[in-house]
Amino acid sequence: MVFIRSMLLGAFAGALLGIGTASAGNERLLESRESLYNNIYVYERPPYVIMTFGHNKQLYTETVFDTGDDRALPVPYTRLMTAALMYAKNVHSILEIGFGGGRVAWYLHRFLPDVRVTSVELDTAVLELSRKYFGITDEPNFYLDSRDGRVFLAQSKDKYDIILIDAYRGPFVPFHLMTKEFYQIVRDHLGEGGVVMQNVDPDTMLFDSAVKTIGAVLPQIEFYKTNDNSDDNIVTVAYDGPERKADDLAAVASERDKALGLRYPLTEMLAVRRHVDLNDTQTISAKAAVLTDDFAPVETLKAIERHNRKLP
Amino acid sequence: MRSRSLAPTIYLIAFVVGGVLMGFEMLGSRYLFPYFGGGIGTWASLISTVLCALAVGYFAGSAIVDRYPSQRAIGAAILVAACWLALVPATADAIMQTILDHIGDGAAATLSASTALLLVPLSLLGTFSPLAVSLLTRSANEAGRVAGLVYGVSTIGNVAGTLLTTFILIPSVGSRNITYIFAVMLALCAGLLFVTPARPPTKV
């Protein structure tokens, strides 16, 4: 799972989550781990346990877990990731790339116990910590695999109705998980009527290129973003075929809300839905280029902030 | 007189070859990551392969330096490396995919992939330094000074190649085109060696 935004060491996720900002000293370090890929810090701030990755003396929140309620999704954008449920024609199998502390995957598993949920996480240490501190256990229909998301897909022949992508490592997404070739592999693993959801940080020019790249493979793009500024991240929905009508989505949403008893109703998420025209230069810079395996200057794009641009 | 004309050429080529060598290592990451992930394991494979290639090149260079101590020998090695690089963009994806399909994505796979990509051309480039030292050394008491200069210049080339490739070329040109640029640069170095007049044989 992953990424809210960077914060100075010690300051922390609380500010964003409305968990209380004044008491920056409240968190207690439960464990730190230097893994092959990350410097991982697990903090406790009752009732939350928080997984962060350290980069450049900053901590990047990857996961917030409510220890008293394993079906809660304290981070706003993670709720929006579940909007996928109203897009997918069928919901038999779900794949997540980037597990982190596993809140979204676990939420989906809890509310859809008959659906096969698979999550791929690069870092085995992250998986170990998720089992130790984040209430993740081995259960039927819940599968974890430790490998690179793209390598997993390239070697898999399975199809999925929903593919969730949230592979931030601190502030970065590896370039090979952002290219047109990657999304072509993703599309090849989508079942009929399937949908891709991706968490994207909108602060830099990388956002424009990322969205344009997804759109080059899956033509229908929609954004979900909290309307109360509680979370800057934008969840991007991408699918093939004609644009979904709001009424049709609302019908599916209300049906699945009832059938599944979802904690965070799909019908409410429709209020923050926005269909995106990729040719609208107000939303996506005309200069943004589709990223490919050959040319993907993600570090450079990441360094360019989106100044005063009209955010979706 | 003629020996003086050779030295600047050799040092220039030492710089360029050093730059291409490390530049191609950085590019190797762009070829490997899409297939084997971008973790420390992939980097370890790339770095160890480059160092293996250099070791092979140094040993091979020292083995052939007495038999073929000529500019043509170095030029030929660099030219073959250039040809290898020129073939990489069109073939790399098929090779990486084959390795992924047959060996998987573990250490054996990333080592095989970096070997397939880097070992041959960088070994050939590795023969440059011993041969160059031999060509520029006229007497035994010069050997240390010449070796120091050749390796120093070549290492500065390494630094330039690493930084230029990472911060200038990859963000502005595609990986495949950078590979072609490197191939052309190597071919030009080889050509320069072929046309630069040789110095007379060392008097014993």
Residue A14 has pLDDT above 70, yes or no: no
pLDDT digits (tens, 9 = 90+) for B83-139: 999 999 999 999 999 999 999 888 999 999 999 999 999 999 999 999 999 989 988
User: Measured between CA atoms, how close is B157 to chain A, in angstroms?
Assistant: 23
C-alpha A181: how far from chain center: 20
- Specify the DSSP element, H or E, that contains B156: helix B143-163
The better pLDDT of the pair B140, A143 is held by A143
Gyration radius (Cα) of chain A, Å: 18
**In the sheet that A58-66 helps form, which strands lie side by side, from edge to edge?**
A6-8, A58-66, A48-55, A39-45, A28-34
HSE-up of residue A306 (Cα within 13 Å, Cβ side) = 21
- Average pLDDT in the A89-107 region? 96
A156-191: b (≥16 Cβ within 10 Å) or e: beeebbbbbbbbbbbbbbbbbbbbbbbbebbbebbb
pTM: 0.85
Per CATH, is A76-302 categorized as 3.30.360.10? no
CA closest to A35 among chain B residues: B40
The better pLDDT of the pair A178, A230 is held by A178
Alpha helix stretches (DSSP H) within chain A: 14-17, 76-81, 103-111, 124-133, 149-155, 180-188, 206-217, 246-260, 266-269, 298-302
- Average pLDDT in the A8-19 region? 42
Residue A157 contacts B, CB cutoff 8 Å: no
The fraction of chain B above a pLDDT of 70, given in percent, is: 95
Phi, psi (deg, nearest 5) at residue B57: -65, -45
Residue A151 has its nearest CB partner, among B36, B174, B176, at: B36
Q: Quick one: pLDDT band at residue A16, thresholds 50, 70, 90?
A: very low
Euclidean distance between CA atoms A265 and A258, whole angstroms: 9
Q: Is the ipTM of this complex over 0.90?
A: no
- Weakest mean pLDDT among A167-171, A307-311, B171-175: A307-311
Residue A121 has pLDDT above 50, yes or no: yes
Q: What is the mean pLDDT of chain A?
A: 88
- Cite the residue boundaries of each domain of chain A with CATH code 3.40.50.150: 76-302
Which residues from chain A sit within 8 angstroms of residue B36, using beta carbons?
A: 148, 151
3-state secondary structure of A223: strand
User: Measured between CA atoms, how close is B201 to chain A, in angstroms?
Assistant: 47
pLDDT at A24: 52
Q: Quick one: pLDDT band at residue A300, thresholds 50, 70, 90?
A: confident
CB-CB under 8 Å, B171 with A293: no
pLDDT digits (tens, 9 = 90+) for A33-81: 988 888 899 999 999 999 998 876 678 889 999 999 999 999 999 999 9
- The two structure tokens encoding residue A195: 């949908």
CB-CB under 8 Å, A148 with B37: yes
Sorted by where each begins, the domain ranges of chain B are: 2-195
Q: Among residues A211, A231, A214, which one has the least CA distance to residue A283?
A: A211
Domain B2-195, what architecture? Up-down Bundle (1.20)
CA closest to A298 among chain B residues: B171
CA closest to B99 among chain A residues: A155
Residue A151 has its nearest CB partner, among B105, B171, B173, at: B105
The fraction of chain A above a pLDDT of 90, given in percent, is: 70
Residue A253 has pLDDT above 60, yes or no: yes
pLDDT digits (tens, 9 = 90+) for A140-185: 999 999 999 999 999 999 999 999 999 887 777 889 999 999 999 9
Count of C-beta atoms within a 10 Å radius of residue A247 = 8
- Weakest mean pLDDT among A157-171, A294-308, B172-186: A294-308
- Weakest mean pLDDT among A115-124, A133-142, B30-39: B30-39
CB-CB under 8 Å, A155 with B37: no
User: Measured between CA atoms, how close is B49 to chain A, in angstroms?
Assistant: 20
Q: Nearest 5 degrees, angle CA A271-CA A189-CA A258? A: 35
CA closest to B33 among chain A residues: A176
The answer to whether the CB of A43 falls within 8 A of the CB of A273 is: no
pLDDT at A13: 44
Euclidean distance between CA atoms B201 and B3, whole angstroms: 10
Task: Please count the residues of chain A.
Answer: 312
Euclidean distance between CA atoms B45 and B50, whole angstroms: 9
The answer to whether the CB of A184 falls within 8 A of the CB of A247 is: no
pLDDT digits (tens, 9 = 90+) for B38-73: 888 899 999 999 999 999 999 999 998 888 778 888
Residue B39 has its nearest CB partner, among A36, A154, A182, at: A36
CB-CB under 8 Å, B33 with A295: no
The better pLDDT of the pair B26, A306 is held by B26
Contact residues, chain B to chain A, C-beta under 8 Å: 30, 33-41, 97, 100, 104-105, 170-177
Phi, psi (deg, nearest 5) at residue B7: -55, -50
Q: Residue A150: CB partners within 8 Å, gap ≥ 6?
A: A176, A177, A182, A185, B34, B35, B37
